[in-house]
């Protein structure tokens, strides 16, 4: 059985120029961008490759651009495998936050066209959700996980507050109302956090402030066709298996208001025999987190600009199937 997992990054991994060299070198990657442009009725490829950066970073643009780039990396990998005769069949696919959509497209649960349209809608709904309640997020570095219950209890006295992302040991992101987040950052420092950084965002992702977005996404998803995934997928909040089309549909609603336990997902995959994690998409955010969660695991990013064609194509020896 495969000891490989494909992991897909979430918003924050986007950058102007992402996958441009890849699309120039790989017809399969270029076709993914062409399909996404067609589905959206505009050139998300031009925005991904040329910017401007502030426009690309807007949530409703960053999410479809990042999904497209991630699936372009996957297409280039499959193209390489077909040419060399060396294939990788992952045991799991897992996405971090918005990366869940990329993982579902990769696993055959969702079409590329529906995927890019849905994340654009998701981004717009997230931006509008919680209107009238100032949302914020903060990154906490070096805080012991054992201190989290006390932090949540104290910060919640100032408003909605919770853990949005448990990214690695000692690295969490909290989300909620700005007053609670700003108070929580100071409380976290008092509890031993080395750093507590209020992030420059206005959307309180993975918090109850996304309830309106979740409700509207539920309605949108009702009319979207899903299939049972061909590869095992894991839920963001608790790493449970998503094995049916309805599991996937439900996940894309629930994960808007619940947190992302990336540590739990990686530990589940590692506990089930995964030893190699291949980051399918731009950047190396998840590769670096894997190294902190499971130092014994092998983490391989596909995105290495110094590699031929802009992609780090792993050899068969590095990615046993």
The set of catalytic residues is 97, 206
Name which of 7, 183, 2 is nearest 91 in CA terms: 2
Cα gap 235→32, rounded to integer Å = 26
Token readout for 69 is 């780039």
44-53 contacts: CB < 8 A, separation 24 or more?
44/68, 44/116, 48/14, 48/16, 48/17, 48/18, 48/19, 48/20, 49/16, 49/17, 49/18, 49/19, 49/20, 49/23, 50/16, 50/17, 51/16, 52/16, 53/16
Inter-residue contact 75 to 32 (CB < 8 Å):
yes
Residue pair 143/172 in contact (Cβ under 8 Å)? The answer is yes
CA–CA separation, 93 and 264 (whole Å): 14
For 258-289, give one letter per residue: b (16+ CB within 10 A) or e. bbbbbbbbbebbbeeebebbbbbbbbbbbbeb
Nearest to 205 by CA among 145, 151, 127: 127
């Amino acid at each position: 059985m495969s000891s490989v997992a494909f992991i897909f990054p979430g918003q924050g991994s986007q950058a102007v120029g992402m996958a441009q060299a890849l699309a120039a070198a790989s017809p399969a990657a270029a076709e993914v961008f062409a399909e996404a442009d067609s589905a959206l009725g505009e050139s998300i490829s031009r925005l991904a490759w040329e910017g401007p950066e502030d426009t690309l970073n807007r949530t409703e643009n960053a999410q479809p651009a990042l999904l497209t780039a991630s699936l372009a990396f996957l297409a280039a990998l499959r193209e390489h495998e077909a040419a060399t005769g060396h294939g990788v069949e992952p045991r799991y696919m897992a996405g971090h936050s918005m990366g869940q959509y990329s993982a579902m497209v990769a696993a055959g649960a969702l079409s590329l066209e529906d995927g890019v349209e849905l994340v654009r809608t998701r981004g717009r709904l997230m931006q509008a959700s919680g209107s009238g309640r100032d949302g914020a997020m903060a990154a906490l570095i070096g805080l012991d996980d054992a201190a989290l219950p006390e932090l949540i209890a104290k910060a919640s006295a100032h408003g909605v507050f919770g853990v949005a992302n448990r990214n690695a040991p000692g690295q969490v992101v909290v989300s909620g109302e700005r007053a609670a987040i700003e108070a929580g950052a100071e409380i976290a420092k008092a509890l031993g956090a080395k750093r507590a950084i209020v992030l420059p965002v206005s959307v309180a992702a993975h918090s109850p402030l996304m309830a309106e977005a979740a409700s509207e996404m539920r309605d949108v998803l009702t009319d979207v066709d899903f299939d049972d995934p061909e590869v095992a997928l894991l839920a963001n909040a608790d790493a449970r298996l998503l094995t049916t089309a309805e599991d996937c549909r439900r996940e894309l609603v629930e994960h808007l208001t619940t947190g992302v336990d990336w540590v739990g997902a990686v530990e589940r995959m590692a506990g089930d025999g995964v030893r190699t994690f291949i980051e399918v998409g731009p950047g190396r955010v998840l590769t670096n987190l894997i190294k902190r969660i499971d130092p014994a695991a092998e983490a391989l990013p596909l995105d290495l600009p110094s590699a031929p064609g802009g992609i780090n194509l792993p050899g068969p020896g590095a990615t046993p199937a």
